[in-house]
Chain A
Amino acid sequence: MKVQISGLCKKYDGKPVLNIDNLTFEQGRIHVIIGPNGSGKSTLVNIISGLEKADHGTVAYGSNQKRFEEVRGSITLVMQHPYLFNTTVFSNIAYGLRCRGADKKQTELLVKEAAEKVNLSAFLTRKAATLSGGEMQRVALARALVLKPELLLLDEATANLDPESIGIIERVIRDFQTATGATVVFITHNIFQARRIAERVYLMMGGRIIEEGSKEKTFGNPESRITREFLRGELIF
């Protein structure tokens, strides 16, 4: 699903934290947003995922420029610190399907399939609270992907995880994207990770997108001086 953003502004307590004139996430690509802490990355995806309201501006979804309410069921967000429901892994992954009233057989099938993708088949009956951080995040990813979203948003979903989980999550996202043609927006702090999975890269700073382009261009030949400094790690944040 394509996402077109225009004139988006957001202030917290009078302090502007987001100010984006025009930004388009094309259908069927992996977009990676990088940028220092507090630059507004989470605020941006929270607005796109309908969790927060912008003060001004619009987000239009799909090629027919639909409103959020019309596409709500096709968007999911995976957060950095996911909240897992106090129940089994199975029920966590099944949550969204049950909300949609999917039938039992279908749900079971899809949940098992999703759990297998994230290497958690053996964990289905475990209580979510007993999992490690990496396993929890894989559950969060599985319960988002099982809904077959057309727009998948991930907010630092691999920050502070073990390398094995990071590897699994990156692979699953890539496979999911190729298989379904979904649009992916992936926020990360990690420039190496951005290089691994991005097709397009966006650098955010002070609530603005200050550089955007293909991975090759952004990493190979960035336009702005700030981007070069950021990529060389010279910007302290």
Chain B
Amino acid sequence: MDNITNGFFGALELILSGNREVYGIIGLSLVVSFVSVIISMFFSVPLGIVIGMNRFPFRKAVIMIINTLMGLPPVIAGLVVYLLLSRSGPLGYLRMLHTPQAMVIAQVLLVSPIIIGVTLAGVKDRGNLIQKTAFTLGANRCQALWTIIKECRTSIGASLVAGYGRAISEVGAVMLVGGNIKGHTRVMTTAIVLETNMGNFDQAIAIGIVLLVLFFILNILLQKYQGA
């Protein structure tokens, strides 16, 4: 019990005193996951719209694969990127393993199926009707696409929030490809694992609290989107 109470007060002190290391870890987490979602957004949202609105061979199979990949175990994404980036791997010459960039790549892999899948589901039923309506009112292709994005903004917003939530809370991928290097690739989840193992409960709890708060904010956002 002492562990917990001491840890808890220690954690509060770390948070309130603006501990450099803790905030560095939180900052890196936020940035890596944010960059991953933004990069993924640029191709995943259009891809979700295209798959959602068009008929093509094996469409059902493609959608099924995307839905399955939405639950891809993060370690698998980590493993794939690790193998690609490791010294002897095909992209080894980039020397990117154990960098924040590598973590971004792994997280892009992880969040893309979610962004594609949720966007797709939101666009599937109404996309064509929106497009037709836009066309009959003289919109060109770009304008029609923009209209679809605007009309489906809640689904797309939800897909981004869900993707971000997944990225920031996973351990497996960032641990493997980032290496949990202090001051370089250590993020919230990997820090919690490490500090707990080492018995530094102050830090573990401090970061845990922040992650929990963030998780709540994201979920409230998500529910707002989906309720709208």
Contact = CB atoms under 8 A, between A and B. Distances in A.
Nearest to B144: A99
Contact of A99 (B130, B132, B140): B140
Interface residues of B, number: 16
A50 interface: yes
B136 A95 contact: no
A85 B151 contact: yes
A99 B137 CA distance: 8
B137 A86 contact: no
Interface stretch (A29-37, A75-83, A114-122, A157-165): A75-83
Interface residues of A, number: 20
B131 to A, nearest CB: 9
B101 interface: no
A73 interface: yes
Given A83-B126, A85-B151, A86-B151, A99 B143 contact: yes
A75 B130 CA distance: 17
Given A85-B150, A100-B138, 7 more contacts: A51-B136, A75-B136, A77-B136, A85-B133, A95-B134, A99-B143, A144-B136
B133 to A, nearest CB: 4
B129 interface: yes
Contacts of A82: 133
A100 to B, nearest CB: 6
B126 A73 contact: no
Interface in A49-86: 49-51, 72-73, 75-77, 79, 82-83, 85-86
Given A83-B126, A83-B129, A83-B130, A76 B136 contact: yes
Interface in A90-132: 95-96, 99-100
A85 B147 contact: yes
Interface of B: 126, 129-130, 132-140, 143, 147, 150-151
B129 to A, nearest CB: 5
A99 B133 contact: no
A41 interface: no
A147 B137 contact: yes
A54 to B, nearest CB: 17
B130 A76 contact: no
Contacts of A50: 135
Contacts of B150: 85-86
B19 to A, nearest CB: 45
Nearest to A73: B138
A147 B132 CA distance: 16
A85 B152 CA distance: 10
A144 B129 contact: no
Contacts of A10: none
Contacts of B135: 50-51
A143 interface: yes
Contacts of B130: 83, 85
Contacts of B143: 99
Given A83-B126, A85-B151, A96 B137 contact: yes
A76 B134 CA distance: 10
Nearest to B140: A99
13 contacts: A51-B135, A76-B138, A77-B136, A79-B136, A83-B126, A83-B132, A85-B147, A85-B150, A86-B151, A95-B139, A100-B138, A143-B137, A144-B137
A72 B141 CA distance: 13
A50 B137 CA distance: 12
Contacts of A100: 138
A82 B132 CA distance: 10
A91 to B, nearest CB: 10
Nearest to A46: B132
Given A51-B132, A86-B151, A99-B143, A76 B126 contact: no
A49 B151 contact: no
A49 B136 contact: yes
Nearest to B133: A83
A178 B18 CA distance: 74
Contacts of B140: 99
A76 B137 CA distance: 6
Nearest to A146: B137
A96 B126 contact: no
Nearest to B136: A77
A50 B135 CA distance: 9
A65 to B, nearest CB: 22
